[in-house]
Amino acid sequence: MADTVDVHIGNSVRALRTAAGLTTADAASALGLDLAGYRARETGAKRLRARELFALARLLEAPVSAFFAHCPHRSPGAASG
């Protein structure tokens, strides 16, 4: 099951990507991923790596913090995955 934070970040990436008029193929190519690998990250099924978030921020001309806006917080002591 995908982590709530990973899903949120993926949704933020999708919203910014579509607002920029880019396709999943454009974003996948920029990250050096195949479409399936990129889609898994955008849906939150796979966690985006820091370097991938940085590359997406540059591609989308957005600060990295934009992916975390209104991100749900975990309770203290919650296990990380």
User: What residues make up the domain containing 43?
Assistant: 4-68
In a domain, 43, yes or no: yes
**Number of domains making up the chain:** 1
Q: How far is CA 80 from CA 3, 42, 45, 63, in A?
A: 9, 19, 15, 24
In a domain, 53, yes or no: yes
pTM score, whole prediction: 0.83
Q: What is the CATH number of the domain that holds 45?
A: 1.10.260.40
Give the pLDDT band (50/70/90) at residue 74: low
- pLDDT of residue 72 exceeding 90, the answer is no
pLDDT (tens digit per residue) in 21-31: 999 999 999 99
The span from the CA of 40 to the CA of 38, in Å, is 5
Q: Decide if 80 is inside a domain.
A: no
